[in-house]
Amino acid sequence: MKYLYQIFLILLAFSDLEAKKIFVSSAQQISAALSTVQPGDTLVMTKGIWNNQQIVFQANGTSSSRIYLIAEKDGEVILTGTSTLRIAGKYLEVSGLYFKDGYSSSGAVIEFRNGSSLLSNYCRLTNTAIVNYNPSDKSKDYKWISLYGTHNRVDHCYLKGKDHLGTTLVVWLGSTPNYHLIDNNYFAFRPAYTLPPYNGAETIRVGDSGTSMQDSYTTVEYNYFEQCNGETEIISNKSCENIYRYNTFKDCEGTLTLRHGNRCTVENNYFFCGNKPNSGGIRIIGEDHKVFNNYIEGSAGTSLKAAISIMNGVPNSPLNRYFQVKRAIVAFNTVVNSRNSIAIGAGKDSELSLPPLDCIIVNNIFYSTQSPIVTLTDNPLNMTWSKNIFFGTSIGMTLPSNNLNVSPLLSKGSDNIYRLLSGSPAINGSDPNYKYVTRDFEGQDRIEPNDIGADEFSNQEIKITPVGPHNTGPEFIRLVSSIKNNDEILPDKFVLEQNYPNPFNPETTITYKIISLTDVELKVYDLTGSEIATLVKGLYLPGIYSAKFSAVNYSLPSGVFFYKLTAGKFSETKKMVVLK
Ligand SMILES: [Ca+2]
Ligand SMILES: [Ca+2]
């Protein structure tokens, strides 16, 4: 036993030797430190403001030992001025950085390359925020994150407030598929870009028209998009074989657009459109796309911005125009209360003269009181309509045989999502020829015969729910307290509420409202003004928060105590009473 322990100690000593931690305080120190790093080492960026730092994190880790560039404390390494980051090499990981209120004077804020020849592979950017990194000239085009190379991952990042020209996050294709993963990010508050050409302000773009016939195999999943209103395309797919799934779109004035490229999957996304102008769901262009298990509610757009829009194409289309839609499958989606549930042949004009060909619209629920449900701008060629439920208003075309015009018996749950009620004609009512969908929109198994729409009527555990601010983005943005309700209207002034209960023993809750991104502190004092506890300390986003305080944890006697909220220039103190 003793012998084993000695071996353990020796191994530990070796791993200590091998995995160095090097503290760095400037881009120059990072470059210097990189000349000595080995796989497994970590560069720790010291807390504080990093002004005008062009950081190049260029090194090669291994699949078992990455090289890390991290913040000394997550969210407290603030990059500003003209600071940028280049990640180049293999198996690198960056975490905990906060780019704030600066701008890039050259290239993207973060690029997965150094120069045009040295690209990144197997690298990861995580737990990082970019907020208001905008130039004064809104027509200046740069991206916030540019992905090059292959097998890179961007996850748990917070990208908020981009208001100038250029996609927020873009994937550039090379000569081989890239297999990137973009997941669990929070994309927030991108205002409409209102200068000509009213374009180039997408939140995500995968590929470009010139490389759009190449395979990308990028997966975009579990991301939260809130008020991403830059332009009509929230996401612009411009390559082949990509997957968009488990994302939630909230109050976005645009659509997920399969603009160029073929064979993409749009599965199991939630669109809560909130009847915002020009809000839509999914727009389809190109060949062999699959769109299923999506839930779309309250879309107010029409035609190209309908809940589901299948466009017309251009004969012999050049790469940058519109390819004819062929063999799209739109199955098992639920579309509720939308102004234009499905548009066919959208965009038809003298150039876009080719209607969709050989498409299948099957097992969907279209439920709306806004008419018509279907807009046929052109007559599709050989379109299969089977076992769809149309209900609530006029259909907009003759009900195809083998489809239903009955109430789907939907009921809105406490989570504001419509699901099937028992007795719904959707239950077990689907066309059985389309079985490749094995789960429903909440991850429950499809039980044959499958139900129509995104929901399978089931008591199984729910595995997939909409994502939101509570489970996307970096933890340092989410912070210690939970936001009470994601849907709550943001407060318009700072407020410190009276604690509840009061008097209390032993625990009470203090609620407060934050209206702008601010350093927040909540402390407890006794009658003499001595500090007893710091309940909250950190940067907070606008929202309503609460903190718990327990007299037991601080061995407090009965008596009067004070709690004080400081948020930027705002501060307020209130009294509370411990009564045993
Ligand atoms: Ca069933
Ligand atoms: Ca279900």
Domain with residue 562: its CATH number is 2.60.40.2550
Name which residue leads in pLDDT, 52 or 489: 52
Å from CA of 403 to ligand 2 middle:
22
Residue 103 reports pLDDT greater than 90: yes
What residue numbers bound the domain in which 360 lies?
134-420
Nearest in space to 126 (alpha carbons), one of 200, 70, 83, 66? 70
Nearest in space to 491 (alpha carbons), one of 480, 483, 503, 481? 483
User: Where is the domain boundary, 404, 420, 436?
Assistant: 420
Q: Does a cis peptide bond (omega within 30 degrees of 0) precede residue 197?
A: yes
Ligand closest to Cα of 465 equals 2
As a whole number, mean pLDDT of residues 466-487 equals 71
- Asked if 402 and 487 sit in the same domain, the reply is no
Å from CA of 343 to ligand 1 middle:
28
Give pLDDT tens digits for 393-448.
Answer: 999 999 999 999 999 999 999 889 999 999 999 999 999 998 889 999 999 999 99
Å from CA of 465 to ligand 1 middle:
20
Residue 288 reports pLDDT greater than 60: yes
Residue 78 reports pLDDT greater than 70: yes
Ligand closest to Cα of 363 equals 1
Ligand closest to Cα of 435 equals 1
Å from CA of 461 to ligand 1 middle:
15
Q: What is the pLDDT of residue 488?
A: 42
* SS3 assignment, position 243: strand
Q: What is the pLDDT of residue 480?
A: 37
- Asked if 280 and 159 sit in the same domain, the reply is yes
For all residues of the chain together, what is the average pLDDT?
A: 93
- Asked if 487 and 416 sit in the same domain, the reply is no
Q: What is the pLDDT of residue 537?
A: 85
User: Where is the domain boundary, 396, 420, 444?
Assistant: 420
| Neighbour order of strands in the sheet with 570-578 | 531-540, 518-525, 559-567, 570-578
Å from CA of 140 to ligand 1 middle:
53
Q: What is the pLDDT of residue 485?
A: 38
Within-domain flag for 470: no
CB 579 within 8 Å of CB 505: yes
Å from CA of 241 to ligand 1 middle:
30
CATH number of the domain that residue 298 is part of = 2.160.20.10
Give pLDDT tens digits for 482-500.
Answer: 333 334 445 678 899 999 9
Å from CA of 451 to ligand 1 middle:
5
As a whole number, mean pLDDT of residues 54-66 equals 97
Ligand closest to Cα of 456 equals 2
User: Where is the domain boundary, 420, 438, 460?
Assistant: 420
Ligand closest to Cα of 446 equals 1
CB 98 within 8 Å of CB 75: yes
Q: How confident is the model at residue 9 (pLDDT cuts 50, 70, 90)?
A: low
Tokens of 104: 């890039």
Q: How confident is the model at residue 3 (pLDDT cuts 50, 70, 90)?
A: low
Share of the chain above pLDDT 70, in %: 94
Our count of domains for the chain comes to 2
Å from CA of 368 to ligand 2 middle:
20
Within-domain flag for 440: no
Nearest in space to 308 (alpha carbons), one of 391, 385, 364, 229? 364
Q: What is the pLDDT of residue 14?
A: 52
Ligand closest to Cα of 447 equals 1
Model-level pTM?
Answer: 0.82
Give pLDDT tens digits for 182-239.
Answer: 999 999 999 999 998 888 999 999 999 999 999 999 999 999 999 999 999 999 999 9
Which own/partner pairs from 440-448 qualify as long-range (CB within 8 Å, at least 24 positions apart)?
A: 440/293, 440/332, 441/268, 441/270, 441/293, 441/294, 441/295, 441/334
- Asked if 545 and 414 sit in the same domain, the reply is no
Contacts of 12 (CB under 8 A, 6+ apart): none
